[in-house]
Amino acid sequence: MVSISTLLRYVGCRMEYAARVGMKSYERGAKDVDIMKNFFQGKLTFLHFNKGEEMAPTIGSQGGTLLVRKIPVPDAKRVFVGDLVVLKDPANSDDYLVRRLAAIEGYEMVSTDDKDEPFVLEDDQCWVLADNENIKPKEAHDSRTFGPVSMTDIVGRVIYCLRNAVDHGPVSNSQFSMRYDSPILEVELDVDEMVKNHKA
């Protein structure tokens, strides 16, 4: 049973989401923006299956079914360093990657290789990294190989991971994000549905 305070916070999240989707549609030239339709339509989350060594141990190498909070307008006020994000793969925009947000615009990036010049991430740029420290940077398929990515390529933040039917739980993100996402997690988490959709 969800508490009244959690439900009110969830309604606030839905209102903000509806306003953001409406604003995005308006900026793209839509003339009739129905915020209430956006408010009542669908969930604030979606399920995404991720497989590979890059994000172990956060996501098991056998794969994990992830509950992802949708972020229609990603920026430095809504996505934070430390967050586990789903983003469009720079190598193929039809595919998605799950990586840890390591730096955002304004951060100075300094390489461990003395040959590389330091640089500052520009407006709307971010730097993403794989969690697995045991794989080589070239195998990690992250910003160390493809460089900075646009914040607008981020489609959501991972809030829960199901590795298998008995190994699952909330994902560690920035403190602000975890507090901000908690009502969505309480209202929209359905472990049975995640187990049913699990591919591993």
Alpha helices in the chain (DSSP H): 4-27, 35-40, 137-140, 143-146, 175-188, 191-197
Residue 17 shares a structural domain with residue 56 = no
pLDDT given for residue 27 in this prediction: 80
Would residue 84 count as lying in a domain? yes
Number of structural domains found in the chain: 2
Q: Are strands 149-150 and 167-170 parallel, antiparallel or unpaired?
A: unpaired
Give pLDDT, residue 141.
94
Q: Are 74 and 154 in contact (CB under 8 A)?
A: yes
> Is residue 200 a part of any domain in this protein?
no
Q: Is residue 12 part of a domain?
A: yes
Tokens at 153, concatenated: 């390529």
Q: Give the strand pairing for 154-164 and 84-89.
A: antiparallel
What's the pLDDT score for residue 54?
A: 95
**Residue 26 one-letter amino acid:** Y
- 77, containing H or E segment: none
Q: How far is CA 77 from the centre of its chain?
A: 14
The domain that holds 111 is classified in CATH as: 2.10.109.10
Q: Which pLDDT value is given to residue 200?
A: 64
Verify whether residue 122 is a known catalytic residue: no
Diameter over CA atoms, the chain: 57
Q: Is 179 a catalytic residue?
A: no
Question: For 156-197, how does the pLDDT look when each residue is reduced to its tens digit (9 = 90+)?
Answer: 999 999 998 899 999 999 999 999 999 999 999 999 999 998
- Indicate if 172 and 119 belong to the same structural domain: yes
**Residue 76 DSSP class:** T
List the catalytic residue out of 9, 99, 157, 163.
99
Look at residues 190, 163, 145, 164 and name the one whose alpha carbon lies nearest to residue 46. 190
Domain residues for the domain of 71 are 42-195
- Can you list the residues of the chain whose pLDDT is less than 50? none
ω before 57 within 30° of 0 (cis)?
yes
> DSSP secondary-structure letter at 147?
-
Q: Are residues 98 and 27 in the same domain?
A: no
Catalytic residue among 9, 14, 20, 54: 54
The answer for residues whose C-beta is within 8 angstroms of residue 143's C-beta and 6 or more apart is 99, 102, 127, 128, 129, 149
**Of 40, 33, 32, the residue nearest 15 (C-alpha):** 40
